[in-house]
Amino acid sequence: MRNAEQVLISATLNTADMVTPLNEGVTPSWFREYRNEWTFIAARYKKTRTTPSARTFKLKFPKFKLLTADDMDYAIGEMRSYHTKQSLMLLMDDAVQAIEGGRDVTDLVQNMYRGLVDLTGEVAGQTNEAELISGWRASYTDALIRAKKRNRGATMGIPTGYPTLDLVTGGYNPGEYWVFGARLGQGKTWALIRSAVAALEDGKTVQYHALEQTKTQLGMRFAPFLSSRFNPTGEVFKTSDIQHGTVDVIGYRKFLQVLEGKAKGRLILDDTPRRKLTSLMLSAKIERNKPDMVIVDYLGLMNSSPGDWTMVAALSADMKEMATTYGIPMLVANQLNRTAGIGVKSAGPEALAGADAIGQDADGVVTLKRESKRTSSMYLAKYRHGEDGNRWMMHFDPNNGIFDEISEDKAMDLRDQDDAA
């Protein structure tokens, strides 16, 4: 069997074509036995924009056996397959050594995941890179679809549940990574639930990872929001009533039956315990469930040690990469620093706890702040693809399925009532 490295080098010299290998992502790192030879060809091409002649090459490497290969597509395909197999073997060898050396299994899985992600990008070659004209065509098609949706009054992406945010962003768009930040007890989970319900109302499949709660507990939180929107009787099933066993059991059962037939979307709840959910596990679940949107509540409780902000930053990068890879919005909650919001009306992305990288990775950052018992404010601290700095008020009464945007005047009335109570 002919050596794949030898075939590609021969095809490159015989056809004097260095453009195709470069466009396909071939680099010296792909070579093991003949790396010096390929580096010589690449250096000559970089300097002169031509490949060396066969005679010049043989003078430099007299022991190299030049083949008659001239099918560049075949040569690159063989080389890609060879490189993939060699890289996989190296990954497995590293894994075996790590296991025998007593390394932490969690770190091992994360390192293997990143190695596989990098390898996947190399194997894919340039398939993700649109040519200029086809890229423009795709952009035009997307713009046309969005214009038609706007004319119908529809949200262009997945509805966020927040009219002000929809107006600025057009909804959560494919490939976007969103971070919702707030101090402890300020309403991060409710904000994510509100977005999940909006997506369900739009017929979307939502994959929700609750790292602080069981599926049963999260289901109780969803109950008032879903019943206030889908229950034909208008009865709202409060979280507190379900928890205390005082809920109308017969009515609740009937509502769930109605919900199964009436809800257009699909909600997938996952309660993998804190510190156990890895990026690799999350990616596998996305592959299996094919969701339209993924929510993680919250980032710092994924596979990281408390206070390990380097790992949290790496997880954040993984979230952005998954959003791009799968072409879906990824939403995560994250804590704000203890000093966040002190002396300012709304906290910015720099207030995200743990690492500047989180704010840098994110396409959008929304921060929350409780203003009174029944009011909250939300602030678009960052939006990579448009204008940010918008602030809006929310009526906060999640027990009754209410987390809805309201006017400043309405918020002031509620605050006055709360203060007087």
138-181 pLDDT, tens digit each? 554 555 555 655 555 556 799 999 999 999 999 999 999 999 99
The pTM score is 0.66
Tokens of 112: 């293997």
Residue 136 resides in a domain: no
Distances (CA, A) of 183 to 344, 346, 380: 14, 12, 16
Q: State pLDDT tens for residues 100-111.
A: 777 776 666 667
Q: How far apart are CA 111 and CA 151, in angstroms?
A: 47
Closest CA to 272 of 260, 285, 259: 285
Q: Cβ distance 242 to 255 under 8 Å?
A: no
Which range is least confidently modeled, 53-57, 141-145, 221-225, 413-417?
141-145
| Domain span holding position 91 | 4-123
3-state secondary structure 386-405: CCCCCEEEEEEEHHHCEEEE
296 plus 406 within the same structural domain: yes
| Residue that wins the pLDDT comparison between 412 and 29 | 412
Instruction: Out of 104, 123, 142, pick the residue that ends a domain.
Output: 123
Residue 165 resides in a domain: yes
Residue 198's CB is within 10 A of a number of other CB atoms, namely 24
Q: How far apart are CA 104 and CA 89, in angstroms?
A: 21
Residue 141 resides in a domain: no
How is 173-242 classified by DSSP, letter by letter?
A: PTT-EEEEEE-TTSSHHHHHHHHHHHHHHTT-EEEEEESSS-HHHHHHHHHHHHHHHH-TT-----HHHH
- If one counts the domains in the chain, the total is 2
Residue 325 resides in a domain: yes
Residue 96 resides in a domain: yes
Mean pLDDT, rounded, for 205-212: 91
Q: Domain containing 25 — which CATH number?
A: 1.10.860
Please provide the average confidence, as pLDDT, over all residues in the chain.
Answer: 84
Q: Domain containing 303 — which CATH number?
A: 3.40.50.300
167 plus 59 within the same structural domain: no
pLDDT score of 305 = 60
